[in-house]
Amino acid sequence: MEKNKKSISRYKRDNRLKQLWGNEKVMIRFVTLYSLVLILFFISWITAYYLLPEGFLRGVGFFGKLAGDKAANNMIVEFVIILGLNLIGWSFIIIGNYILRVNYFSFGYLIPLAWMIMYGTTLGSNSFPIPLEESLAPSLSVFSRSGLYEILAATLLAVATNTISVNKSDSFFSKSKPIPKDERVPSKTEDWVAIGIAILIFAGAALRESYMIINL
């Protein structure tokens, strides 16, 4: 009887996970992942604003050093720099999704999650390579900034490419196994549409960010 209860409980849990993380609809997968991304963002932003010294992460990390501490000479050059930095992150997403899927959670999902935590910490501690006048206090006005939309685009890319995995595992602690070619799910039309939308959102956000940086 106890084994049956555990089996039923596990089945219900797996079914809930499938309905969210493994849903056939790309928008449901997106809302699920981006909701978690936003929660982690606000937690890291509030924590950094109230607990960390200003400039805590400035100059730390690969991307910050690539970005440099001065704006480019014009908006187009700044846009190309932002484009290049984000494309590195996008490449990690695709590589992660390709390498492994744990149950319904593709490894590429970890990139926007980590990215948003870093963004929240950077925003709260004013650790941008080109700093703001002061740390930005937590508020909903952050939705007027480009960063959230760049990571939104990355999140959409992650969920739209989650079927490209060549290996799978039942949990983070179990050994992965190759997915036979005949069991791999091909990308659907809505996945390709989502990828196209992600590119457009990113391009618009990057253009706006480059404009804001040039006019600081």
CB 165 within 8 A of CB 123: no
CB 37 within 8 A of CB 116: yes
**pLDDT single digits (tens) 116-133:** 999 999 898 888 877 777
Q: In what order do the strands lie in the sheet with 105-106?
A: 105-106, 101-102, 167-169, 177-178
Sorted by where each begins, the domain ranges of the chain are 35-214
**pLDDT single digits (tens) 42-81:** 999 999 999 988 877 776 655 555 555 566 577 888 888 8
Structure tokens of 214? 């040039």
pLDDT the model gives residue 213: 76
Q: Is the pLDDT of residue 210 over 60?
A: yes
Query: Between helices 26-51 and 189-214, what is the axis angle to 10°?
Result: 30
What residue ranges in 9-144 does DSSP mark as E strands?
A: 101-102, 105-106
- State the pTM of this model: 0.84
Taking the CA atoms of residue 113, residue 193, residue 196 and residue 105 in that order, the dihedral angle to the nearest 10 degrees is 20
pLDDT band at 84 (very low <50, low <70, confident <90, very high): confident
